[in-house]
Structure 1
Amino acid sequence: MRVTPLKALPLEQLRERSSTKWRTYPADVLPLFVAETDFPLAPAITDRLARAVTLGDTGYTPPDPGVRDAYVAFAGRRFGWAPRPDRIRTTGDVIMGVVELLRRVIEPGDRVVVTPPVYPPFYDAVPEAGGVVERVPLSAGPSGHELDVAGIEAALAGGARAILLCNPHNPTGTVHGREALAKIAEAADRFGATVISDEIHAPLAYPGTGFTPFLAASPTAARVGFAVTSASKAFNLAGLKCALMIAGDDQHARVLRSLPAEVEWRTGLFGAMAAVASFAPESDAWLDSALAAIDENRRLLADLLSRHVPGARYRMPDAGFLAWVDLGGLGWGDNPSTRILREARVALHYGPAFGDEGRGHVRFNIGCSPEVLTEAVERIGALVDA
C-alpha cells in the first residue's frame, strides 16, 4: 500500500516561525542548513501540547512522564528491539547525554574515537567530557561510506577508551550494518572500551535499509554500549528538550542510575509530553508519510543535481533528511557553502565543520517541499556557468 507523502507547510507560513532555521538569515535566503524540517507537527503532538497549554500544565517534569515505556513500545514496532524501561533515563538532549556518559566511562585525557565526517558537536562533546578526540574516518566502500573497523580496532589497541558512534550517520545518512557494529563491539570488549551510539536519526531510516540499534547488534554490544536517542529529529522537537540514555545491561544501567538527579531534571516537560505523543502508535502514520516525502526528495535531489550541477557527487542517504554532497570538482574551494550563500542566497551547512573530510562538501536539508528544494538547486546551478 502506497503511503501518501506529507506536505511541507507553505514558505510564507514557515517564515513566521521563530526558530534558528528561520531567524538566522534574511528573508531572501532559502535556509537548508540546520536540521529542522518544514512539516506540520504530528497531530498527536499538537493535541497533547495544546491541552497542556490550556491547562497551564507548565511545571516541573515528573519522575516518570511515560517516555521510557513509550519508547520501548516504539522500538519494538519500528526496530524489532525491546530495551528494558528500567535501563533508560532521560535528559535534555542527545549531546547532554553523550557528555554525561563519557564523563562516567573515561578519565581526563583519554582518547575517544569519532568517525568523520561527523556531526560537528561531537568535536566539542568529547573535550567537554575531559577526553581527546581521535579521528578514524569513514571508509569509502562499494556501497558508500562504511565504518573503518580495522582503524577503530587499531585506535583501541593504541589506548583509546571509548567510541562515539553516529548511527544512522550524520552527515552521510549511512545506516551502519549489523556485522560492522558487532565487530566494533567485540573490539571494544577486547580492549575494555565503551561504545556510545547516537541514534537520533534512527526513526528516519528508510524501509529496507536494515537499521540495527547498536545495543541489538549482538550480546557483546549490549554489554559494552549505551545508546542515546530522541524524537527531536524525526518529529522536529529540538526546542523542547527531551532525550533518552539507554543501557544494554545491568552494569551500565547502574552507571545511568549513578548520574546526578540534575541530569534527568534537564528533561523539559513539553519535551517529555511531545516524545510520548511521538512514540505513540497514532503517530506511526505521520512518520511513514514524512519518510515518504523525504524519500521523494532524496531522489529529486539526485535528479536536480544531475541536471543543474553536473559536477556534484551525491549518494542518496539510507536515513534522514540530510544529504551530503561533494562539490569539490567545481573549484569553489574548501567551503563552497560560502559562495552559495553569498551569490545564490541558499544557506547550506558547510562541509569543513564535519572534519577535514568535509572539504569541498555541503550538507543539504531536504526536509522541505519539493518546490523549495528545486528552487535551491536551480539557484546553485546558475553559479556553475557564471
Structure 2
Amino acid sequence: MNDFHYEIKREGTNSVKWDLRKTIFGKEDVLPMWVADMDFAPPPMVIKELEKRLEHGIFGYTFIGERTASSIQNWLHTRHNWSIETDSLLYSPGVVPAIATIIQAHTQPNDRIMLQSPVYTPFFNMVEANQRVVENCPLVLNKGYYEIDFEAFEKSLQNGVKLFLLCNPHNPSGRVWTKDELMKIAELCLKYDVQIVSDEIHSDLVFSPHKHVPIASLDKKYENITITLMAPSKTFNLAGLQASFMVIPNKHSRKKIEEAQKRQGFFTLGTFGIAGMEAAYEFGENWLESLLEYVKENIELTKKFITSEIPQLEVVEPEGTYLIWIDCRNTGYDDKEIASRLLEKGKLALEPGPKYGPGGEGFVRMNIACPRNMLLEGLDRLKRSFE
C-alpha cells in the first residue's frame, strides 16, 4: 500500500506542475499547488502491471481489447451502481480531446453550447476554439454553497442551445450534484432537445455521505441524450498515460463521434494507457479507499488552518475532488493583487479564479492532493501571502 506521506521529487520529469513553474508563473521558487494532478505514486499494482508490459519489450500497434471494456464495465457497476454495455464505449486520449470531438460531431459553427461558470477552463476553450458560442448560465453561490438557478437554466436552454456541458463532481467548487438536481437538469434538456455532455472525471473522488450519481444512470431516456466522459487519470494519478473513455449508449450519437474520430485520424490509445487503465480498474479499489481517507484529512486540515490562521479567507466546502476553492474577496484585494501576493510574498502557485469564468473573481483554487508536510508548507505560504 502507498505511503501518502512520502515525498517524491518530480523535477526533471517534464512535469507540467513542477518543471514549468518559470514558464507559467515567472518564478522557479514557488510551491506548485495548482494543476490537478496528485503528488502521490499510483497504486503499486498499476506500476507492477506497467513494468510487466515494459519488460515484454515490444511496443507495436496495440488495439483496445475486451479486457479494457470489461474492467470499465465492472468498475462502473461496483463503484457507481451503473450497468453499461461494453459496446457503448469509445476511447480518447483525454476528456478535453473528447469534448472537442463531440462538439465537432454534434454541432455546427456558431451553435450555442451551454456551461455553468465558474467551471473547468477547457469548457470555454473548446467551445471557442471550435467557433461555437458560449451560453453561460452561472452557478449561484448561496452562503458558501453552489446551487443551480433552474429558472435561469431553462431560459438559457431556450436560446437555441445544442449541447450542455455538465461538470460533476464540479471543478473548481467540489460540489457533487444530487440525484434531484441531476433529474431536473435532464428533464429540462429533454424538453428542449439538448444533448448532455457530462464530464465525470472526478467521479471516484467523492467523500461520504455524498455519492456520485452518473446522470445517464437515472433513466433510459436520460441515457439516450447523454455522453459521459470518464478516465482513471484523476483517480489514480495517471494523466500522463493519456487514456480516457466515453459512455455513449445512443448508437446514432456514437456513430457520429466515431466518424469524427476517423476524420481526426484517431485509431487507438497508447500501449501503456491501455495497460494502466485496465490495472487501475482491476486492482486499484483498496488503494483508492486509502487515498480518499488521506485526502479527506488534508481537506479538514486545510479548513481548520484557514479558519484559525487566515480568517479573512473562506473555504467552499468540497463534497468531492482534491481541489479547494478559496474565497479571498474579504481581503479587499483585486485578482491582480491576490496573484502578486501569492507569488511574491508567499512563493505559492495557485490557480487564479478568473480562469474559471464569471463568478471566479476573487477566488483561487488550491490542489491539496500532496503529502502532509507539503500541504503544511503550502498553508504557511498561503498565510504569509495575506499577512
Query: What's the secondary structure of 1:253's corresponding residue?
Result: helix
Q: Alignment identity in percent?
A: 28
Kindly provide the amino acid, as one letter, of the partner of residue 101 in structure 1: I
Kindly provide the amino acid, as one letter, of the partner of residue 382 in structure 2: I
The aligned counterpart of 1:276 is 278
340-349 or 55-64, which moves further after superposition? 55-64
Kindly provide the amino acid, as one letter, of the partner of residue 292 in structure 1: E
**Separation in structure 1 between the aligned mates of residue 2 and residue 313 of structure 2, nearest angstrom:** 27
Kindly provide the amino acid, as one letter, of the partner of residue 355 in structure 2: A
The aligned counterpart of 2:100 is 99
Alignment of 1:306-321 (within 5 A): 306-321=307-322
Once the two structures are TM-superposed, the CA of residue 249 in structure 1 deviates from its matched residue by 3.2
Once the two structures are TM-superposed, the CA of residue 66 in structure 1 deviates from its matched residue by 3.1
The aligned counterpart of 1:73 is 74
Question: Is this contact kept in 1: 2:144–2:316, CA < 8 A?
Answer: no
**Separation in structure 2 between the aligned mates of residue 142 and residue 6 of structure 1, nearest angstrom:** 37
Query: What's the secondary structure of 2:285's corresponding residue?
Result: helix
Once the two structures are TM-superposed, the CA of residue 42 in structure 1 deviates from its matched residue by 0.6
Alignment of 1:1-386 (within 5 A): 7-10=4-7, 13-15=9-11, 17-25=13-21, 28-64=29-65, 66-141=67-142, 144-261=145-262, 264-265=266-267, 267-280=269-282, 282-335=283-336, 336-385=338-387
Kindly provide the amino acid, as one letter, of the partner of residue 195 in structure 1: I
Q: Deviations over 1:108-141 (max 9, x none)?
A: 1111011110011111111233321111111224
Change over 3 Å in CA distance of 1:149–1:292 after alignment to 2: same
Question: Is this contact kept in 2: 1:116–1:138, CA < 8 A?
Answer: yes
Kindly provide the amino acid, as one letter, of the partner of residue 318 in structure 2: P
**Separation in structure 2 between the aligned mates of residue 57 and residue 284 of structure 1, nearest angstrom:** 29
Change over 3 Å in CA distance of 1:265–1:314 after alignment to 2: same
Question: Is this contact kept in 1: 2:2–2:43, CA < 8 A?
Answer: no
**Separation in structure 1 between the aligned mates of residue 33 and residue 99 of structure 2, nearest angstrom:** 26
Once the two structures are TM-superposed, the CA of residue 65 in structure 1 deviates from its matched residue by 6.3
248-257 or 154-163, which moves further after superposition? 248-257
Once the two structures are TM-superposed, the CA of residue 148 in structure 1 deviates from its matched residue by 2.8
Change over 3 Å in CA distance of 1:9–1:15 after alignment to 2: farther
**Separation in structure 2 between the aligned mates of residue 68 and residue 90 of structure 1, nearest angstrom:** 10
Question: Is this contact kept in 1: 2:145–2:317, CA < 8 A?
Answer: no
Kindly provide the amino acid, as one letter, of the partner of residue 219 in structure 1: K
Once the two structures are TM-superposed, the CA of residue 149 in structure 1 deviates from its matched residue by 2.5
The runs of 5 or more residues in structure 2 that have no matched partner are 22-26
Once the two structures are TM-superposed, the CA of residue 37 in structure 1 deviates from its matched residue by 0.4
**Separation in structure 1 between the aligned mates of residue 380 and residue 309 of structure 2, nearest angstrom:** 6
The runs of 5 or more residues in structure 1 that have no matched partner are none
**Separation in structure 2 between the aligned mates of residue 58 and residue 65 of structure 1, nearest angstrom:** 19
Once the two structures are TM-superposed, the CA of residue 351 in structure 1 deviates from its matched residue by 0.8
Provide the alpha-carbon RMSD of the alignment.
2.0
**Separation in structure 2 between the aligned mates of residue 243 and residue 101 of structure 1, nearest angstrom:** 14
371-380 or 237-246, which moves further after superposition? 371-380
Kindly provide the amino acid, as one letter, of the partner of residue 23 in structure 1: D
Once the two structures are TM-superposed, the CA of residue 316 in structure 1 deviates from its matched residue by 2.2
Once the two structures are TM-superposed, the CA of residue 146 in structure 1 deviates from its matched residue by 2.1
Question: Is this contact kept in 2: 1:6–1:289, CA < 8 A?
Answer: no
Once the two structures are TM-superposed, the CA of residue 63 in structure 1 deviates from its matched residue by 4.0
**Separation in structure 2 between the aligned mates of residue 309 and residue 142 of structure 1, nearest angstrom:** 19
The aligned counterpart of 2:24 is none
Kindly provide the amino acid, as one letter, of the partner of residue 351 in structure 2: H
Q: Deviations over 1:308-340 (max 9, x none)?
A: 211011122111111100111112312423320
Change over 3 Å in CA distance of 1:377–1:145 after alignment to 2: same
Change over 3 Å in CA distance of 1:41–1:303 after alignment to 2: same
**Separation in structure 1 between the aligned mates of residue 54 and residue 257 of structure 2, nearest angstrom:** 32
Aligned residue pair count: 380
Greater than 6 Å deviation, 4+ residue runs? none
Question: Is this contact kept in 2: 1:6–1:293, CA < 8 A?
Answer: no
**Separation in structure 2 between the aligned mates of residue 338 and residue 214 of structure 1, nearest angstrom:** 40
**Separation in structure 1 between the aligned mates of residue 154 and residue 368 of structure 2, nearest angstrom:** 34
**Separation in structure 1 between the aligned mates of residue 57 and residue 103 of structure 2, nearest angstrom:** 37
Question: Is this contact kept in 2: 1:168–1:201, CA < 8 A?
Answer: yes
Q: Deviations over 1:212-249 (max 9, x none)?
A: 11211333321211111111111111111111011133
Kindly provide the amino acid, as one letter, of the partner of residue 20 in structure 1: V
